[in-house]
């Protein structure tokens, strides 16, 4: 189960309590407090705390630009201007703290985003639960032949079942051996910090992860992308829903200029201008490498389809 009974009881108690405050609150994210969004088979994301909202972003920006900007720019317009022109510091005025339960191999991808504060469940002091991520059949895919770090066709039938049997069997055996090494009551077992090394990377861990909105947007730009690995993308998409409710103006600007936008190199921009003038541009005349040209054409094609 995603939440342990003790965790659920603690969350229920906190959710039932109300505390008056003078600080600014964001109604959209208040609704997410003390509730867990399920992710994958045993994981979740939940909001523990937050600071700031769209108004905090605007407030910080106007300290920099002066009060005069308020007469010519409403909050939404100013936030979109900040996003459009890569003014990042005002977005750092809003922060969020998340409690995340995730497979260890996903955590190892996630931790590459170093601009955050993290405290992870320690298997040196506590015994890990026997919960392992087992992909749904539709997410079992072969290695891509075109992308060394991507997936290809979905496995089906007997091959898919073979893989699932291996994953479940290995997880069960590893956890049985983990418990056996820890020993039983009255029997001295191996230290927890050593026994954990036998566990596979699909066992679940938990952590508290706190970051500001600017760095959260960077995380989401990479991990909510359709090309990101499915498992971490599932967490990013859950966080996207929270952010949309928390800071709707900032989310709208991020969606339009980052998630839905595109960045062109100087050569790419020059090619677009030449194409608009009716010139036939080829890879040989573009000034791009073959790889850059393929990506450029793929971007234009996706824009046409969109």
Active-site positions read 223
Tokens, residue 233: 């993308």
- For residues 15 and 35, what is the distance between their CA atoms, to the nearest angstrom? 8
276-277-281-286 Cα dihedral, nearest 10 degrees: -80
- Residues with Cβ < 8 Å from 28, sequence gap 6 or more? 244, 245, 246, 248
Asked if 221 and 71 touch (Cβ cutoff 8 Å), the reply is no
Give the burial class of 90: count Cβ atoms within 10 A of its Cβ; 0-12 exposed, 13-18 middle, 19 or more buried.
buried
Beta-carbon count within 10 A of 236 CB? 20
């Amino acid at each position: 189960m995603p939440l342990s009974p003790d965790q659920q009881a603690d969350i229920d108690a906190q959710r039932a309590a109300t505390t008056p405050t003078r600080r600014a609150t964001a109604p959209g994210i208040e609704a997410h407090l003390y509730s867990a969004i399920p992710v994958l088979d045993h994981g979740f994301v939940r909001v523990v705390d937050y600071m700031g909202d769209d108004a905090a972003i605007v407030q910080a920006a106007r300290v920099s630009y002066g009060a005069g900007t308020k007469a010519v720019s409403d909050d939404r317009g100013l936030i979109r201007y900040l996003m459009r022109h890569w003014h990042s510091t005002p977005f750092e005025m809003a922060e969020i703290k998340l409690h995340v339960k995730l497979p260890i191999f996903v955590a190892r991808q996630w931790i590459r985003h170093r601009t955050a504060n993290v405290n992870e469940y320690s298997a040196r002091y506590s015994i890990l639960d026997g919960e392992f991520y087992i992909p749904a059949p539709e997410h079992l895919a072969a290695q891509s032949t075109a992308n060394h770090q991507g997936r290809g066709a979905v496995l089906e039938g007997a091959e898919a079942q073979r893989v699932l049997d291996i994953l479940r069997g290995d997880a069960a055996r590893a956890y049985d051996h983990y418990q056996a090494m820890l020993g039983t009551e009255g029997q001295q077992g191996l230290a927890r910090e050593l026994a954990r090394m036998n566990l596979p990377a699909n066992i679940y861990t938990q952590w508290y992860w706190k970051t500001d909105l600017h760095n959260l947007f960077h995380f989401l730009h990479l991990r909510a992308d359709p090309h990101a690995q499915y498992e971490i993308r599932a967490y990013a998409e859950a966080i996207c829903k929270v952010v949309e409710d928390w800071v709707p103006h900032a989310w709208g600007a991020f969606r339009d200029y980052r998630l839905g936008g595109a960045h062109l190199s100087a050569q790419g921009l020059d090619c677009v201008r030449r194409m608009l003038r009716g010139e036939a541009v080829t890879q040989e005349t573009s000034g791009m490498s073959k790889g850059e040209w393929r990506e450029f054409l793929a971007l234009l094609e996706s824009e046409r389809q969109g």
